[in-house]
Amino acid sequence: MDALSEAIGTFALRLLKILCQDDPSHNVFYSPVSISSALAMVFLGAEGDTAAQVAQLLSLNPEKDIHQGFQSLLAALNKPGTQYVLRTANGLFGEETCEFLSTFQESCLRFYRAELEKLSFASAAEPSRKQINAWVSKKTEGKIPELLPFNSIDEQTRLVLVNAIYFKGRWNEQFNKSYTSEMPFRVNQEEQRPVQMMFQEGTFRLAHIEEVQAQVLELPYAGEELSMVILLPDHHVALSSVEENLTFEKLLAWTSPGCMKSTEVEVFLPRFKLEENYDMGSVVEVNEEGTEAAAASALIVVECCMELGPRFCADHPFLFFIRHNETNSILFCGRFSSP
């Protein structure tokens, strides 16, 4: 695994903990790759304290060529001929009266495929906002039509950096719609809500993590280049305790071939759609066919066992990650707590 994937993973889980800590019943969904690439373009043009702060935020090693890493990652993610649709796009929108260093523009184009477009924020803020939103909407197949809210652009705006990412993939083993039925989902100890629960029995990579008392399941998408990894606490364990103990290093160890084993397992997974907005648009839909998602913006010894039996029933809150398997990059991550 390269330094960039490790940095994105570390950033992803730090942000996950921040977004999850306020309300244990709140759903969470975002793209760490999207946010990281937008901030990396800031890092590209930053100096001094600003550069140091962005590097610290993204867990970047200043001695590593992080921009070359993003160039390679974006090429891998956008390669043609895959059995899934995955598109990333970076945009730079600058105030037309400002001069931007040619070296910055050239580097953004080279490493991030982002070309500067001049707009008149000073005299036409609202049309500029709508134009940027239209760009994002197009890049996300209409899933995020309003990334920038009203009044977010004004005459003081000088530069808007945008990243959009869109994913649509079919499960390698699809769920049969005729097996989907209503089942209760336990939001907490006092409340249950009905969900449409999908079901299938098949051979999937599965492990039970004794350290946090949780199951981890991998559901590959067609072609097996991308997977959804689901972290499900045991019934008597609160998801918050798993979140508190989770790090990227541990997630790598828990999902390693030495820990997860191919197992015949019954899988129950709710059909769900999440739309989240943290000044960045994110939407995901998981159904029988697969997943559609969009977003804009140490040695560890693990004790694993499979003594609980081959059943994975996500009828209570869980974490999920959509991973690019070749690079171990986390493209999307989220928490499903409340239907």
What is the pLDDT confidence band of residue 308, given thresholds at 50, 70 and 90? very low
Burial status of residue 13 (CB atoms within 10 A of its CB: 0-12, 13-18, 19 or more): buried
DSSP 177: G
pLDDT greater at residue 93 or residue 284: 93
126-181 pLDDT per residue, tens: 999 999 999 999 988 888 888 888 988 888 999 999 888 899 999 999 999 999 99
What does the mean pLDDT of the chain come to?
A: 89
Query: Can you give the pTM of this predicted structure?
Result: 0.89
Distance of CA 277 to the CA centre of its chain: 13
What is the pLDDT confidence band of residue 281, given thresholds at 50, 70 and 90? low
Please tell me the predicted confidence (pLDDT) of residue 289. Answer: 93
Q: Is the pLDDT of residue 315 over 50?
A: yes
Please tell me the predicted confidence (pLDDT) of residue 279. Answer: 54
What is the pLDDT confidence band of residue 274, given thresholds at 50, 70 and 90? confident
Please tell me the predicted confidence (pLDDT) of residue 26. Answer: 87
187-227 pLDDT per residue, tens: 988 899 999 999 999 999 999 999 999 999 999 999 999 99
CATH of 3-169, one of 3.30.1110.20, 3.30.465.10, 3.40.50.970, 3.30.497.10: 3.30.497.10
Least confident of 43-52, 112-121, 217-226: 43-52
Q: Is the pLDDT of residue 101 over 50?
A: yes
Structure tokens at 5: 């994937």
Residues 315, 183 contacting (CB under 8 angstroms): yes
Report d(CA 234, CA 274) in Å as an integer: 23
Please tell me the predicted confidence (pLDDT) of residue 307. Answer: 46
Section 297-323 average pLDDT: 69
The residues near 157 (Cβ < 8 Å, ≥ 6 apart) are 95, 121, 125, 128
Section 46-74 average pLDDT: 86
CATH code for 171-336?
A: 2.30.39.10
Give residue limits of the domains in the chain: 3-169, 171-336
Section 100-105 average pLDDT: 92
The dihedral through the CA atoms of 188, 176, 200, 333 has a sign that is negative
Please tell me the predicted confidence (pLDDT) of residue 264. Answer: 94
Q: What is the DSSP string of 295-334?
A: EE-------EE-TT-SEEE--S-EEEEEEETTTTEEEEEE
Hey, what amino acid is at 310? Answer: P
Which region, left, alpha or beta, applies to residue 147 given φ > 0 means left and ψ of -120 to 50 means alpha? Answer: alpha
Q: Is the pLDDT of residue 309 over 90?
A: no
Please tell me the predicted confidence (pLDDT) of residue 278. Answer: 52
Please tell me the predicted confidence (pLDDT) of residue 125. Answer: 93
Q: Angle CA(302)–CA(20)–CA(214) in degrees, nearest 5?
A: 30
